[in-house]
Structure 1
Amino acid sequence: MSILVTGGDGYIGWPTALRIATRTDERVIAVDNCARREWVAEVGATSATSVADPETRIEAAREVHGAANLSFVEGDLTDREFVLRLLDTHEPSVVVHTAAQPSAPYSQINGERANFTQHNNMQATRNLLFGLSEQGLTDTHFIETTTTGVYGAPEFPIPEGGATMEHAGEQDEVPFPAMAGSWYHLSKSHDAANLRLAHDQFDMPISDVRTAITYGTEIEETRPDDRLATRFDFDYYFGVVAHRFAAQAVAGYPLTVYGKGEQRKPFVSLEDAVEGLARLALGETADGHTVYNQVTRPIAIVEMAETIREVAAEHELDVEVTHVENPRDEDETHQMEIDNDRYMDVIDEQRATFADGIDDVLETLLAHRETIVSHEDRFLPDALQE
């Protein structure tokens, strides 16, 4: 038996595979088609960190951590025959599924990217679920990172999973409705529905881990050797807002908050995201279908900017926070509330605050300042390019 980590070349998938491999003697197989590298290059961007090829990463993991149980398989999960061979060969007891085209902005470029995103993401998940069923592996714990983006921005507190619906004097527990705001997020809404159906039809243990905006550049296992670094995107399409703000700070630009910036978004550090996935993979498999909100706390955009400014000062960067007219149709004061008790029970406590994560991010970006400055057109908002 073994543990599969799909998306094993990605920002979250690689450090997750590495952490799991250092905590178990079971074989851990990182699986990826390495397409993320191509998507980022396609939009004219690059990772700030130098991303070693999979073979070099595996070699480093064995040299630095003695992780002889970690290996890499290259393949496309949308190819049903590849997935069937993969499952037949390795017979996983756990699948940690982090593989996806993960960018909402990329999915919004045009119809071609929207179609690609939804086909790629949902086809890969369906192939894995049906493959496990057809290979007689329905006891396999299937853990998928979906996204808190499936919830949209409702005015009521967001539950961990379902909600109670009342109508005509009767009530029942129902799945949270798909309120996603992009073709990418909607692909994950469809995935969440398919996970529920797979549990009902195949009696497969499912963990739907709804991942928040993830910040940070290192975990304990990647620090000792540059070959172990995960990728770090800072551009408009693949870099999250906190990372783009940090890139603006390093490049000498003000942090531009749209409007009031009081709306809160869900965040989780890379450390806390990886720890939760590793514990779910290596812990006792919960029966049934379980939803986790993988978030430590919501943070207001303006608070995020001010925190980056304060941490930047510790790195001798003089950064201003400015407010510009909001080009988006959104509630600038929306105070998101999101339940996360179930996920916090998994990780016990928050390991990295937002300030901790940003300190790591700035250290990384400062070490690669030339790369940041040479690609500033890829992350600067329109307000700074006019």
Structure 2
Amino acid sequence: MSIIVTGGDGYLGWPAALRIADRTDDRVVLVDNFGRREWVEEIGSVSAVPIAYPDERIEAAEEVLGLTNLSFVEGDLTEKSFVDQLLEVHEPDTIVHTAAQPSAPYSQINGERANYTQHNNMQATRNLLWGLEEHDMTDTHFVETTTTGVYGAPEFPIPEGGATMENQGERDEVPFPAMAGSWYHLTKSHDAANMRLAHSQFDIPISDVRTAITYGTEVEETRADPRLKTRFDFDYYFGVVAHRFAAQAVSGYPVTIYGKGEQRKPFISLEDAVEGLARVALVDPDERPDDLTVYNQVTRAISIVEVGETIAEVADDYDLDVAVEHFENPRDEDETHKMEIENDRYLDLIDGQDQTFAEGVADIFATLTEHAGRIESHEDRFLPGVLEPDE
């Protein structure tokens, strides 16, 4: 049997594949087309952490971790013929689908990139789901990392899954409405709807893992060798807020908070996200829920101001003098929104494992201070404006 991990060259996909491979004797097949490397190069940035290509990574995994069950296939999931061949050859028992163009700002640059993002992300998911149906593999467990961004910023607690709707005295459970705020996030709303339809029509067991803003540089497996490191983006387009703030601190920039920064966002450490994905992927087939299952893969909600202040505090331990400054917000968002999000099912899944935000930030600084030169040489990528909307 085999487990396919799409996006296996990516920030989350690579360490998740390592952990899955460490806990199973099944073949773990990584799939990627190196899109993330190309997109980051396109906007003029780099990964702060130098990363090896899959052949070197897999060699290191065998030498250092003793993993002999990893392999890599290069290909584009938007091409149906490639997906068909992938499924026919490897006959996966589980697919962990982490591949996507993941940047909301990138998807907002212009119509071309919005179209690219939506085609790339949604076509890949449709090809995989229909491929399972057409190749009589509907027992395959399909796990996708969507995003908590599908929820938008409602003024009520976000449920872990559907929502209860009441109209004219009648109540029913319905899918949570798509309230995404970017062309990227909307792709994941559509994916969630398509997965629900595929489960209904094809009876595919599906886990929709709605992943929060993920921060961190290391998991247990990647610490073992430089060739095992995962990427770390810090630019405006691909660097999540905690990563961008930490990189600014390392390069001597002030932490740039847009607007008031009092809005709370859902966060999870890379370690906790990897653990959750591994546990979902390796669940015993007899214990898989019969219905489509939604996990809110989040451990805490943190305000942007708190993110900045925590980074500034931890930076003191690395002799970095960091200022926190506020700038005009280029995004249309509620700067005081107090997000509440339910995550009981996910916390039960990982048995309450929870790396604190400060611990994760300390990990980031320990890594970034070794690569300060790469960040400083691209410090002009911290703020928007690298690509004009009409480019």
Q: Could you say whether these structures have the same fold, taking a TM-score greater than 0.5 normalized by the shorter chain as the test? A: yes
Matched, 1:95 2:98: no
Q: Which position in structure 2 is the counterpart of 1:32?
A: 32
Contact 2:114–2:183 (CA under 8 A) maintained in structure 1: yes
Distance 2:334 2:17 in 1: 38
Matched, 1:170 2:173: no
Q: CA deviation at 1:162?
A: 0.5
- Decide which of 322, 326, 332 is 1:323's aligned counterpart: 326
Q: CA deviation at 1:258?
A: 2.6
Q: CA deviation at 1:363?
A: 1.5
Q: CA deviation at 1:220?
A: 0.3
Contact 2:259–2:328 (CA under 8 A) maintained in structure 1: yes
| RMSD after superposition | 1.1
Distance 1:343 1:150 in 2: 17
Q: Which position in structure 2 is the counterpart of 1:112?
A: 112
Q: Which position in structure 2 is the counterpart of 1:302?
A: 305
Contact 1:204–1:288 (CA under 8 A) maintained in structure 2: no
Q: CA deviation at 1:168?
A: 1.4
What is the aligned length? 382
Distance 1:14 1:378 in 2: 25
Q: Secondary structure at the residue paired with 2:267?
A: strand
Q: Which position in structure 1 is the counterpart of 2:150?
A: 150
Q: Which position in structure 2 is the counterpart of 1:365?
A: 368
Q: Secondary structure at the residue paired with 2:222?
A: coil
Q: Which position in structure 1 is the counterpart of 2:379?
A: 376
Q: Which position in structure 1 is the counterpart of 2:127?
A: 127
- Decide which of 326, 333, 338 is 1:335's aligned counterpart: 338
Q: Secondary structure at the residue paired with 1:257?
A: strand
Matched, 1:270 2:273: no
Runs of 4+ in 1 over 6 A off after TM superposition: none
Distance 1:250 1:102 in 2: 25
Q: Mark the CA change 1:222 to 1:258 in structure 2 (over 3 Å): closer, same or farther.
A: same
Distance 2:155 2:270 in 1: 27
Q: Secondary structure at the residue paired with 1:236?
A: coil
Q: Which position in structure 2 is the counterpart of 1:257?
A: 257
Matched, 1:349 2:349: no
Q: Deviations over 1:303-340 (max 9, x none)?
A: 11111011100111111212334344432221000000
Q: CA deviation at 1:259?
A: 3.0
% identical aligned pairs: 75
Q: Which position in structure 2 is the counterpart of 1:6?
A: 6
Question: What residue identity is the alignment partner of 1:234?
Answer: F
Distance 2:350 2:209 in 1: 13
Instruction: Name structure 2 gaps, 5 residues minimum.
Output: 386-391
Q: Deviations over 1:45-67 (max 9, x none)?
A: 10011110110001001111111
Q: Deviations over 1:338-359 (max 9, x none)?
A: 0000111111123321111111
Q: Deviations over 1:208-233 (max 9, x none)?
A: 00010000010000001000000110
Contact 1:212–1:267 (CA under 8 A) maintained in structure 2: yes
| TM-score between both structures, scaled by the size of structure 2 | 0.96
Contact 1:296–1:350 (CA under 8 A) maintained in structure 2: no
Q: Deviations over 1:15-49 (max 9, x none)?
A: 00011001111111011111111111000010011
Distance 2:333 2:86 in 1: 44
Greater shift in the superposed pair: 328-337 or 71-80: 328-337
Q: Deviations over 1:181-217 (max 9, x none)?
A: 1000001100000000000000011000001000001
Q: CA deviation at 1:171?
A: 1.3
Contact 2:237–2:384 (CA under 8 A) maintained in structure 1: no
Matched, 1:314 2:317: yes
Distance 1:54 1:338 in 2: 36
Q: Which position in structure 1 is the counterpart of 2:389?
A: none
Question: What residue identity is the alignment partner of 1:258?
Answer: Y
Question: What residue identity is the alignment partner of 1:182?
Answer: S
Q: CA deviation at 1:256?
A: 2.2
Distance 2:282 2:176 in 1: 28
Q: Mark the CA change 1:198 to 1:309 in structure 2 (over 3 Å): closer, same or farther.
A: same
Q: Which position in structure 2 is the counterpart of 1:161?
A: 161
Instruction: Name structure 1 gaps, 5 residues minimum.
Output: none
Distance 1:330 1:30 in 2: 36
| TM-score between both structures, scaled by the size of structure 1 | 0.97
